[in-house]
Structure 1
């Protein structure tokens, strides 16, 4: 049995995976959506980027999961990529869903214009959630947008600005990278170079940056297929 650990990106918690998790469970998989510290029902828990890495590793180890597929969406690709190194032979595959990938010594904001984000985090220490207008053009219905906006919580700023810590080469890990084409044609940052590795595969989805809402069944299908990759 494959054990999926699903980690959503900025502002979101485990709830964001409800529809995808249901599809995967109906296909016979064990599924563990994870809320990172400081978000959703874990608001108020202090968190930096390494806190989020530990959240993932400790969840896998506490549940004694094997044959693990780690799934990281958007920002969560950064802690998921680091956690993938640390769970060793428990790992079967990593799936990055339109995600940032970690670069040793660099923050999640490295490699893209981030002045606005840093200014938004400011003295509060939190990255404020987006408004409904920010989700227009991403293949989402009004109802889906309303669900995302109402469920979003401020994101701990340190998790975006602290540096990643990697011991090895992510190109050596078995990876599926899902690119959501309404959010741009090319993978973000370091992912473009890593996709040259023979161990990385690229899968495109004709939807926006939040496919767990816009196309949950199709995303679940791709995740299911990724679990059978060598």
Structure 2
């Protein structure tokens, strides 16, 4: 039995996977959605990126999970990529869902040459937290009105230190068995860091014809892809 551990991106908590988790369990697998410190039911807590890596590793070790498919969406790809190498032989595969990927010594905002000032300005203006998106910011991402409202209404401010703290990797990320899901409404091609990693024989690219939040816009298709990833 595969054990899926799912981590949503900025502003989101475990609740974001509510339409995906039941399908994984119905297929006979374990599914565990993790809320990172400072978000959703843990909102308001200051947390750095190392805290988020520890959140993921601690959840896996506390539940004594094996044969883990570790799933990271958007921002969460950065702590998930670091956690994946820390859990050793518990890992079966890591799946990055339209996500950032960690680079040793670099932070989430390091990859935002144009948007870094915007993110850091929001953090400074909001007591150390990155303010959530408004509905207009998520337009054009394949979300209907109900899905968009769910995303916007459920989001909480994201702890800023997790976005500016550098990642720490002890081995090349390309050595990990990985699937990268590219959501085409958020850009037709992966960024340069991901494109380089996809040259590894351990990495596979899967494309989804939807936007940046497929757990809302296409949860059934996303669940199918995650189930397929466990068979690689």
Structure 2 equivalent of residue 116 of structure 1: 118
Structure 1 equivalent of residue 40 of structure 2: 40
For residue 110 of structure 1, give the secondary structure of its aligned residue in structure 2. helix
Q: Distance in 1 between matches of 2:109 and 2:100?
A: 9
User: Of 177, 180, 183, which residue of structure 2 is paired with 1:177?
Assistant: 180
Residues 156-197 of structure 1 show CA distances to partners (whole Å, capped at 9, x for unaligned) of 000000000000001000000000000001113411111110
Structure 2 equivalent of residue 226 of structure 1: 229
The answer (yes or no) to whether the contact 2:12–2:40 under 8 Å persists in 1 is yes
Structure 2 equivalent of residue 198 of structure 1: 201
- Report deviation, 1:135: 1.2
Instruction: Calculate the TM-score normalised by the size of structure 1.
Output: 0.98
Residues 12-33 of structure 1 show CA distances to partners (whole Å, capped at 9, x for unaligned) of 0000000010111111110000
Q: Distance in 2 between matches of 1:192 and 1:129?
A: 28
Q: Distance in 1 between matches of 2:109 and 2:209?
A: 25
The answer (yes or no) to whether the contact 1:12–1:151 under 8 Å persists in 2 is yes
For residue 11 of structure 1, give the secondary structure of its aligned residue in structure 2. coil
Structure 2 equivalent of residue 150 of structure 1: 153
Structure 2 equivalent of residue 49 of structure 1: 49
The answer (yes or no) to whether the contact 1:23–1:217 under 8 Å persists in 2 is yes
The answer (yes or no) to whether the contact 1:111–1:189 under 8 Å persists in 2 is no
Residues 87-122 of structure 1 show CA distances to partners (whole Å, capped at 9, x for unaligned) of 000000000000000000000111222111111111
The answer (yes or no) to whether the contact 1:100–1:189 under 8 Å persists in 2 is no
Q: Distance in 2 between matches of 1:105 and 1:13?
A: 26
The answer (yes or no) to whether the contact 1:9–1:74 under 8 Å persists in 2 is yes
Report which stretch shifted further, 187-196 or 97-106: 187-196
Q: Does 1:31 align with 2:31?
A: yes
Q: Does 1:214 align with 2:217?
A: yes
For residue 96 of structure 2, give the secondary structure of its aligned residue in structure 1. strand
Structure 2 equivalent of residue 132 of structure 1: 135
Q: Distance in 2 between matches of 1:56 and 1:189?
A: 26
Q: Distance in 1 between matches of 2:230 and 2:150?
A: 29
Question: Structure 1 segments of 4 or more deviating over 2 A?
Answer: none
**Gapped regions of structure 2 (runs ≥ 5):** none
The answer (yes or no) to whether the contact 1:57–1:87 under 8 Å persists in 2 is yes
**Gapped regions of structure 1 (runs ≥ 5):** none
The answer (yes or no) to whether the contact 1:23–1:220 under 8 Å persists in 2 is yes
- How many residues end up aligned between the 2 structures? 229
Instruction: Calculate the TM-score normalised by the size of structure 2.
Output: 0.97
Q: Distance in 2 between matches of 1:9 and 1:69?
A: 17
- Report deviation, 1:44: 2.8
